[in-house]
């Protein structure tokens, strides 16, 4: 079994437990459920956007512990103040050390900033949770879902005014997963089965992503030069976690990167 299969297996057990603890109709009563969302795709389309989606991630299967000495409110607020276009908050506990409170606290500190619930979504219930906890965007990973599931979950999320980021890693996943119920398409430079990272993955797939979707490059990004190269290729979103989180003050690492960015539209 590869790591993705292990994560999804564990996730399905967690979801059964969560449903037994809190019924779906109770999630709909959470105060955040009725808030108007912040648009990540809208932010990334703005001319003056940094395009950076800054991630709060304590640990990962590929890197182990990255940073367990920081507070989510402090880090996400510093990210937003340093110019992040959006935030990504891991809510998976077992493999990434996150939880629902991380998302709720990030929302409380950043009422106006788009926030992605970064998790392994395989069930409508998790989309209700995302809305109830204050997310604006959900992630659908093509490697874990059938095309029918992606369409169904995307439509369900958009019916709750959540945006949908589809994540793919190769051409086959991209071709079978596109549908009208998506707002952003992300190319993960990390192969989630082998952990190999290559930015060439984003560069090779960009032309095949229809322009109606905002294009996001994910994982393994750290240099201004690479971000400029991806921007020139057509990407408008850059999802970065470890490069910031491995430093003592992640917001300062983001500020340093943003200081070097200069986007030129050809």
Under the rule (CB under 6 A), what is the footprint of ligand LARABZUK? 3, 55, 57, 60-62, 188, 190, 192, 195, 218-221, 239-243
Known active-site residue 94: no
Min dist CB 61 to ligand LARABZUK, Å, is 4
Min dist CB 53 to ligand LARABZUK, Å, is 9
Task: Using alpha carbons, select from 191, 182, 187, 221 the residue that is nearest to residue 54.
Answer: 221
Exactly one of 104, 118, 131, 215 is catalytic; name it: 118
- HEC readout, 81-142: HCCCCEEEEECCCCCCCCCHHHHHHHHHHCCCCCEEEECCCCCHHHHHHHHHHCCCEEEEEH
Min dist CB 5 to ligand LARABZUK, Å, is 11
Question: Looking at beta carbons only, is 42 or 61 nearer to ligand LARABZUK?
Answer: 61
Q: Hey, how many other C-beta atoms are within 10 angstroms of the C-beta on 213?
A: 17
Exactly one of 189, 217, 219, 243 is catalytic; name it: 219
Known active-site residue 217: no
Q: Hey, how many other C-beta atoms are within 10 angstroms of the C-beta on 5?
A: 12
Exactly one of 11, 38, 41, 55 is catalytic; name it: 55
Min dist CB 20 to ligand LARABZUK, Å, is 26
Question: Looking at beta carbons only, is 30 or 95 nearer to ligand LARABZUK?
Answer: 95
Min dist CB 247 to ligand LARABZUK, Å, is 12
Question: Looking at beta carbons only, is 136 or 242 nearer to ligand LARABZUK?
Answer: 242
Question: Looking at beta carbons only, is 182 or 221 nearer to ligand LARABZUK?
Answer: 221
Known active-site residue 118: yes
Residue 49 burial (CB < 10 Å; 0-12/13-18/19+)? middle
What is the Cα–Cα distance from 78 to 20, expressed in whole angstroms?
Answer: 36
Question: Looking at beta carbons only, is 87 or 192 nearer to ligand LARABZUK?
Answer: 192
């Amino acid at each position: 079994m590869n790591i993705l299969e292990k994560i999804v297996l564990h996730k399905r057990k967690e979801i059964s437990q969560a449903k037994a603890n809190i019924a779906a109709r109770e999630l709909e009563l959470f105060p955040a459920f009725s808030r108007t969302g912040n648009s990540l795709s809208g932010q990334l389309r703005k001319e003056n956007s940094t395009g950076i989606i800054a991630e709060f991630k304590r640990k990962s299967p590929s890197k182990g512990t990255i940073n367990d000495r920081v507070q989510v409110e402090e880090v996400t607020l510093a990210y937003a103040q340093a110019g992040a276009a959006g935030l990504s908050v891991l809510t998976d506990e077992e493999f990434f050390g996150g939880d629902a409170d991380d998302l709720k606290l990030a929302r409380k500190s950043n009422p106006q900033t788009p926030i992605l619930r970064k998790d392994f979504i395989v069930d409508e219930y998790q989309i209700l949770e995302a809305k109830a906890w204050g997310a604006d965007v959900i992630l659908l990973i093509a490697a874990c879902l059938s095309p029918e599931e992606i369409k169904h979950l995307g439509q369900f999320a958009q019916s709750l005014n959540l945006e949908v980021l589809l994540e793919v890693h190769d051409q086959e996943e991209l071709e079978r997963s596109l549908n009208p119920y998506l707002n952003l398409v992300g190319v993960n430079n990390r192969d989630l089965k082998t952990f190999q990272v290559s930015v060439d993955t984003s560069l090779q797939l960009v032309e095949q992503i229809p322009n109606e979707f905002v294009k996001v490059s994910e994982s393994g990004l750290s240099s201004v030069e690479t971000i400029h190269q991806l921007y020139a290729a057509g990407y408008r979103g850059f999802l970065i976690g470890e490069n910031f989180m491995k430093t003592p003050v992640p917001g300062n690492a983001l500020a340093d990167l943003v200081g070097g960015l200069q986007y030129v539209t050809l």
